[in-house]
């Protein structure tokens, strides 16, 4: 089988995006702030939209660094929230990952979440990285550059 050449690659494909942290700082939050929409720059959230022209799958990845100031173990849930709901799984199907940290045990911890969303044709969808549960403590997420904060998709695929 011949290797694909650039002209064989579908481009640009709907739903392709890359959002990388650029602020060089971090943002604080506590349980009182839930849900927390994670930003990569002042006023710009880790959020992307697509309106597919056919029924499809949309893979999305998000990761960044988190830290808690308190000298105790605490947990947060990081979620990719899709609006409107996933076309196959419906409400409550957002992927979640838990991140745990202790102020004395580590400086920053890595949190990543991946989603594979079913989308219907001709419907506008938005995916947003959010913190949807905070057990306790005073947390920060990293909003800086160097690839520590990143949300991306390779684009939609027909289903």
The pLDDT value given to residue 55: 94
**Residues composing the chain:** 159
Task: List, for residues 36-62, the tens digit of each pLDDT value.
Answer: 888 777 667 888 899 999 999 999 999
The pLDDT value given to residue 18: 77
pLDDT in tens, the chain (159 residues): 454 444 444 445 677 877 776 655 677 888 888 888 887 776 678 888 999 999 999 999 998 889 999 999 999 999 999 999 999 988 766 888 999 999 998 888 999 999 999 999 999 999 999 999 999 999 988 876 665 788 888 888 888
Given the candidates 1.20.1540.10, 2.60.120.40, 1.20.1240.10, 3.40.190.170, the CATH classification of the domain at 29-131 is: 2.60.120.40
Neighbours of 11 (CB within 10 A): 9
Q: How far is 143 from 122, CA to CA, in rounded Å?
A: 33
Residue with tokens 């929409």: 37
3-state secondary structure of 33: helix
The separation between the first and the last C-alpha atoms of the chain, rounded to the nearest angstrom, is 25
Helices (H), the chain: none
């Amino acid at each position: 089988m011949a290797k694909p050449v650039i002209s064989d690659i579908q481009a640009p494909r709907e739903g392709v995006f890359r959002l990388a942290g650029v602020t060089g700082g971090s943002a604080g939050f506590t349980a009182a702030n839930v849900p927390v929409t994670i930003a990569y720059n002042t006023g710009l959230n880790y959020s992307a939209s697509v309106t597919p022209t056919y029924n499809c799958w949309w893979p999305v990845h998000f990761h960044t660094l988190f830290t808690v100031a308190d000298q105790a173990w605490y947990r947060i849930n990081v979620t990719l929230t899709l609006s409107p709901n996933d076309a196959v799984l419906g409400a409550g199907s957002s992927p979640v990952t838990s991140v745990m940290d202790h102020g004395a045990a580590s400086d920053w911890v890595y949190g990543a979440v991946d989603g594979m969303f079913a989308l219907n044709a001709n419907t506008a969808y938005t995916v947003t990285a959010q913190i949807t549960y905070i057990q306790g403590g005073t947390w920060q997420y990293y909003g800086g550059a160097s690839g520590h904060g990143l949300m991306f998709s390779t684009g939609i695929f027909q289903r």
